[in-house]
Amino acid sequence: MEKRKRLALVAHDNRKQDLIEWVEFNALKLREHQIICTGTTGRLIEQQLRSSLSEEQYGEFEVIKLKSGPLGGDQQLGAMIVDGKIDLMIFFWDPMQPQPHDVDVKALLRITVLYNIPTACNRSTADFIISSHLFIESYNPRIKDYSNYINREVKM
């Protein structure tokens, strides 16, 4: 993991405003990194940053927008994680609202654990991650080798 991180930002509808506020509050730190968002979240973050930052500050942002989560954005992020193209994920999900694409969300969270991707599911954890000295330094995460799990037979 390089100093310049590739940071995935995702939020369910009821949590989008929370994530937008967090991004705006941390904009000066985040502009040093590449931001990858699911579609609607990315569009809303861009709109807010355009209106709240100077043109010079906003010009330093790189926001890559994928498809909306329910339209495949969660799977796109999962594939990027598997391909080593995501370093961190901030995913403000809504624990109080069932999601029609809940299986996609669960699969995405499973992949972050499998590939040892630091993941924040709430603002406190996101604050801890962005405040860590590791956020601005190179870091070499340890990835567990799960290849034995694939070939292991189940004994009954």
Of 74, 104, 127, 145, the active-site residue reads 74
What is the per-residue pLDDT across 79-105, written as a single tens digit (0 to 9) for each? 999 999 999 999 998 888 776 667 878
Q: What percent of the chain has pLDDT over 70?
A: 94
Domain of residue 81: give its range: 6-151
**46: domain CATH number?**
3.40.50.1380
| Inside any domain, residue 24 | yes
Out of 2-6, 69-73, 83-87, pick the least confident.
Answer: 69-73
Asked if the structure places residue 76 within a domain, the reply is yes
The CB-based long-range contact list for 73-77 (8 Å cut-off, 24+ gap) reads 73/10, 73/38, 73/39, 74/10, 74/38, 74/101, 74/104, 74/105, 74/107, 74/108, 75/104, 75/107, 75/108, 76/38, 77/8, 77/10, 77/36, 77/38, 77/108
74 domain residue, yes or no: yes
Whether residue 156 lies inside any domain: the answer is no
Please give the pLDDT value at position 153: 58
Specify if 1 maps to a domain.
no
**% of residues, the chain, pLDDT over 90:** 61
pLDDT score, position 105: 82
Q: Is 145 a catalytic residue?
A: no
